[in-house]
Every structure is written in C-alpha cells, then in structure tokens.
C-alpha cells in the first residue's frame, strides 16, 4: 500500500489544515496510509555551527525520505505560507535533501473565501528551489474555504461536492506518485545539484 506523509503546515494547536489531513487519513485508509507529521516542535532555523542537524529535523527528513509521497496542507498568512512552514522547509533543505524528486500534493484550508490559494502558489515556488526540488503534482489545488464551517462534528467534510473533488485529486496523486517513481534517471544528478548548491559560493563560469 502506498505510504504518504501528511505534513501539517502550521504550528497552531487548533488548525483546520490538521483536520483536513486527519479527514484524508481516515477517508483514504483503504487505498493509502497517511502518517501525520507535525512541525510545531522544530527549533527556529539557524545554521548550526557544528553542522549537525537537530534530531527533530532528522526524524522528519527520514520519514519523508522513506515515504512514497508527501501531502502538505498549508493555511494562508498575509498572502503567504506560515513562518513555521518556511522554517521547517529551511531545515529540510540544509545538508539534507529528502524532498528532491519526491511527489508532493498541496492542499490548504483557510477561514476566508480563497482557501489558501496564494499561499499554495508561494509554496510551489519554495518547493521548486534548488535545495528542495520536489515534484509537485500540477493543476491539483484543493482549496478549502470557510474552513471553520467546513467540517461536521465527527471531523468529516460537510460538503459532498468537496469530498468528490478531493477523491478525484487524491486518485490523481496516487497515479502521480506511481509515475514519479519511474522518473529516476536524473535523480542522482538532481541530488548532487542540491548538495552542491549554495548562495554563499562565488559564481564561476
């Protein structure tokens, strides 16, 4: 069975993005396992003087590396992703590169009408950075607007239309994961590019 990581893209204790991933974890349990991973306990990113990655970061990196794919659910703060998610991705691209060529699906829930659309666009740009270089499923936004009212008391999405849309996107993602596994010819060089990339190195012809 396909094993996925559901990355909760916020440090909020009461997050509708966590609720969305929990719903997906339960709803799709017969076709995939979705293991929820939190970022709320990660330290603030600062290049360690000794170059040693914190255990909490390595723990998440190892899980991503071993998974078939990753679902990231992000809220939207000031038209962008939360600082806590950027912080996590900073760590997960410093000396470790678990996202390189990893299949990623982006979802998002927000209290407003746009359902984190601008944050999702920003997240795609971040995940395309040389040190991350994830394979992001194209044309697959799942935007959950008015998320405070979007769930029933049992945690199920209230809108059947939204459930049907999510089911279709998830099936597409499983196919995307399968296809991505076959795109391995450039993986070694992509990993080397990520490892060798540095904003601090002088440019050479």
Q: What is the pLDDT of residue 49?
A: 82
Res. 155: pLDDT tops 50 = yes
Beta carbons of 151 and 134 less than 8 angstroms apart? no
CA 131 from chain centre, in angstroms, equals 15
Share of the chain above pLDDT 70, in %: 96
Best CATH choice for the domain 2-196 from the list 1.10.260.40, 3.40.50.360, 2.30.30.40, 2.60.40.10 = 3.40.50.360
Write down the domain spans for the chain: 2-196
Residue (of 160, 122, 113, 165) closest to 140 by Cα position: 165
Cα dihedral across residues 73, 76, 77, 78: positive or negative: positive
pLDDT (tens digit per residue) in 22-54 = 999 999 999 999 999 999 999 999 988 888 899
pLDDT (tens digit per residue) in 78-115 = 889 999 999 999 999 999 999 999 999 999 998 877 77
Beta carbons of 57 and 75 less than 8 angstroms apart? no
Please give the model's pTM, rounded to 2 decimal places.
0.90
Residue (of 73, 139, 142, 137) closest to 102 by Cα position: 137
- The per-residue pLDDT of the chain, averaged, comes to 91
Q: Classify residue 152 as exposed, middle or buried by CB count within 10 Å of its CB (0-12, 13-18, 19+).
A: exposed
């Amino acid at each position: 069975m396909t094993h996925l990581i559901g990355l909760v893209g916020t440090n909020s204790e009461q997050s509708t993005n966590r609720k969305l991933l929990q719903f997906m974890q339960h709803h799709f349990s017969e076709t995939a396992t979705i293991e929820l991973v939190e970022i709320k306990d990660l330290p603030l990113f600062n290049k360690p003087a000794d170059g040693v990655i914190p255990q909490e970061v390595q723990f998440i990196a190892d899980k991503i590396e071993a998974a078939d794919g990753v679902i990231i659910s992000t809220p939207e703060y000031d038209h962008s992703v939360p600082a806590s998610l950027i912080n996590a991705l900073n760590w997960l691209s410093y000396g470790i590169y678990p996202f390189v060529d990893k299949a990623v699906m982006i979802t998002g829930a927000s209290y407003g009408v746009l359902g984190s659309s601008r944050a999702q666009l920003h997240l795609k740009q971040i995940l395309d950075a040389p040190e991350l270089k994830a394979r992001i499923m194209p044309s697959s936004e799942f935007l959950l607007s008015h998320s405070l009212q979007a769930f029933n008391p049992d945690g199920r999405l209230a809108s059947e239309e939204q459930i049907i849309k999510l089911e279709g996107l998830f099936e597409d993602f499983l196919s995307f994961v399968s296809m991505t596994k076959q795109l391995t010819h450039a993986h070694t060089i992509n990993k080397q590019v990520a490892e060798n990339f540095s904003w601090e190195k002088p440019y050479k012809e």
